[in-house]
Structure 1
Amino acid sequence: MKVKESAASIKGNWATLLLPIENEAINYILLAEQIDYFIAAGVDGIYSNGTAGEFYTQTEEEFERISGLLATKCRVVGMPFQIGASHCHPQDAVRRAQFAATLQPTAVQVILPNWFPCNTQTALIFLRKVESVCQDVPIILYNPPHAKVCLTAEQLRTIFDEIDTVVGFKLPRITDEIVATGLPQVASIFVAGHFLATDAYVGAKGAYSNVCCLGPKATQTWTQQCLMLDPQALETEQRIQQFMSEEIAPFILEEGYCNAAVDKFMATMGIWSGITPTMRFPFESVPAERLEKARQAQKALIPGFYQ
């Protein structure tokens, strides 16, 4: 049970690596610069190969190179880091987790098997296998809203209790049902970034943050306010949610762009990143000509996040 104790240290504003894509290839120079920026910005941690990191498009060679680059840079400065070992193919997910564990990250992130909707027993079988190859490295179960199966509160509690090295979850929100299980008191639960101020009051420990794509430094300051339950954080959250609702959500809900395309678009809005909105095949990129309108709204509603 000692691994469970590490949940207390996994909290705050975790910045996601975004893949700089040029002619379908990853620009590793820009990727390294992105890591350096996050370190200089003083974020609570950095994670790789999540949804926004386009893990589903990476070859194994690319996965290992990205993971190694992140681990090397973070270890030099003592920056916490997590490696997303997610894969739509469960056997490859296990192999990725095994490799990730050799880099001694703060935690390894995985998703549930993807093709057949997975019940509790299948989830436990899969996670026990991941646990067996991770050598006591903590595991975060990545279960965002677009997962094929979004686990119930009872399922989440069962997984936490049954798998010794599962220390936390990425979820959309902390619901009343989750609160009733007592899980927020013992697990590291991360929620969607634009709900962090509200959900911090019911035990959210941080965000694998879409908001961080807009401005890592401002998001770091705001996250600290959220976790201190500063009422000002709620006012900022209202403006962030207005911006997201009016300028960002329509790309997904009305125009059909994927979540990662929107995250890249938000990162391109500011000047902190050298990334472009370009997605890897087969997903569409939000056109760069849509940037200016969104930038003007960003400056009007959340000017501190324009970086």
Structure 2
Amino acid sequence: MRALTSRGLRGIWSPLLLPVTMSEAIDFDRLDSTLETVLGTGVNGVYTNGTASEFHTLTEDEYDRLHELVAERCSAAGMPFQLGASHPSGQISLGRIARAARLRPGAIQVVLPDWLPLRPPEVLAALDRMAQAADGVPLVLYNPPYAKTQVGPELLARIADALPAVIGLKVPGIAVAKGLTERFAVFVAGHTLASAHREGAAGSYSNVSCMSPAGAVRWYEQMTTDPAAAAALEARLGAFLDEHIAPLAAAGYCDPALDKTLCAVGDWSTVGTRVRWPHRSVPDASIPALRAAAWRAVPELLTAPAGGRLPGA
């Protein structure tokens, strides 16, 4: 596909969650079916190998098979796609980047090498080498709150000056990219997008899309057509997450387990709640009560989560 730009990278991008079998293998048949559903939801694009997609658990063979599938399906459907090449090892990341680049995605998502924190010159050197490996495919820097190296506004400005190949950022909140939304496509956590959109955020690699991809798209459109209603929805969504999902995080369930829980709450795919070892999966028995609470809080998100005609439309 055509390379993305900082101006063109916008909207709701849906992660491709991994359906996992009892033996912890990826169920590629269910994954293909889930991708087929996502392609019809109206999302702006699909991305792979973020935290929600358990990138840290993939073997290199799984990584390649997954990306060949995504590139083939998205290209055939005319759906923009980004491939994640993240890995805690910078050396392994370089190999993943080079292989992803051969599939010519719109961008490649990367994290900084992660065992030891990096000094600013090392950050610039790491991204420069990654850009070389990407062979002209632009990069999106993923800097989650648990990364060893936290990249703040000053260093981001240096990255913008030195590395035009880095077109986008995936950060916890808009504040870290203050003053840089004209230089990068800044993507934030999905459940904060309405407020961040007012401050220049370009979109989200969306946990809300895990729950309802089509609903996340409708909400994104509402941010332009009815900002007050979009803000009210964000408040109700935040209250639901605080009351019902945050306790699961406090109980020790990891982010991918929570994302898969949201997917099960939305009831639009067969991904399931199972995550790969060594992490714990949220019990299936908890889903009905969570789903009922979500419907009380944000029914407009959960209606027609895979797209199609809305009731009364």
Which range, TM-score by smaller chain? over 0.9
- The answer to whether the aligner puts 1:303 opposite 2:299 as a matched pair is yes
SS at match of 1:24: coil
The amino acid that maps onto 2:274 is: T
CA–CA distance in structure 2, aligned partners of residues 108 and 97 of structure 1: 7
- How many equivalent pairs are there? 300
1:184 corresponds in structure 2 to: 181
CA–CA distance in structure 1, aligned partners of residues 132 and 177 of structure 2: 27
- Runs of 4+ aligned residues of structure 1 deviating over 6 Å after TM superposition are none
User: Closer, same or farther in 2 for the Cα pair 1:79/1:163, shift >3 Å?
Assistant: same
2:153 corresponds in structure 1 to: 153
Which residue of 237, 247, 252 maps to 1:250? 247
2:135 corresponds in structure 1 to: 135
| CA contact 1:214–1:267 (8 Å) conserved in 2 | yes
1:226 positional shift: 2.3
| CA contact 1:184–1:204 (8 Å) conserved in 2 | yes
CA–CA distance in structure 2, aligned partners of residues 249 and 146 of structure 1: 17
CA–CA distance in structure 2, aligned partners of residues 117 and 234 of structure 1: 36
| CA contact 1:201–1:229 (8 Å) conserved in 2 | no
SS at match of 2:151: coil
1:97 corresponds in structure 2 to: 97
| CA contact 1:200–1:229 (8 Å) conserved in 2 | no
TM-score, scaled relative to structure 1: 0.95
1:288 positional shift: 1.1
CA–CA distance in structure 2, aligned partners of residues 107 and 10 of structure 1: 9
CA–CA distance in structure 1, aligned partners of residues 228 and 8 of structure 2: 24
User: Does 225-234 or 122-131 show the bigger shift?
Assistant: 225-234
| CA contact 2:244–2:290 (8 Å) conserved in 1 | yes
Identity of aligned residues (%): 38
The amino acid that maps onto 2:41 is: A
- The answer to whether the aligner puts 1:282 opposite 2:278 as a matched pair is yes
2:257 corresponds in structure 1 to: 261
Which ranges of structure 2 fall in alignment gaps of 5 or more residues? Answer: 306-313
2:308 corresponds in structure 1 to: none
Query: After the TM superposition, which residues 56-95 of structure 1 pair with which residues of structure 2 at under 5 Å, given as runs?
Result: 56-95=56-95
2:46 corresponds in structure 1 to: 46
- The answer to whether the aligner puts 1:107 opposite 2:107 as a matched pair is yes
CA–CA distance in structure 1, aligned partners of residues 274 and 125 of structure 2: 37
1:207 positional shift: 0.3
Root mean square deviation of aligned Cα: 1.3
1:9 corresponds in structure 2 to: 8
TM-score, scaled relative to structure 2: 0.93
CA–CA distance in structure 1, aligned partners of residues 96 and 82 of structure 2: 13
The amino acid that maps onto 1:108 is: I
Please state which structure has a larger fraction of its residues in helix.
1
CA–CA distance in structure 1, aligned partners of residues 213 and 121 of structure 2: 38
The amino acid that maps onto 2:291 is: R
CA–CA distance in structure 1, aligned partners of residues 244 and 35 of structure 2: 27
SS at match of 1:250: helix
1:228 positional shift: 5.3
User: Closer, same or farther in 2 for the Cα pair 1:284/1:270, shift >3 Å?
Assistant: same
1:300 positional shift: 0.3
CA–CA distance in structure 2, aligned partners of residues 291 and 142 of structure 1: 30
SS at match of 2:14: strand
1:148 positional shift: 2.1
2:163 corresponds in structure 1 to: 163
CA–CA distance in structure 2, aligned partners of residues 170 and 72 of structure 1: 25
| CA contact 2:177–2:186 (8 Å) conserved in 1 | no
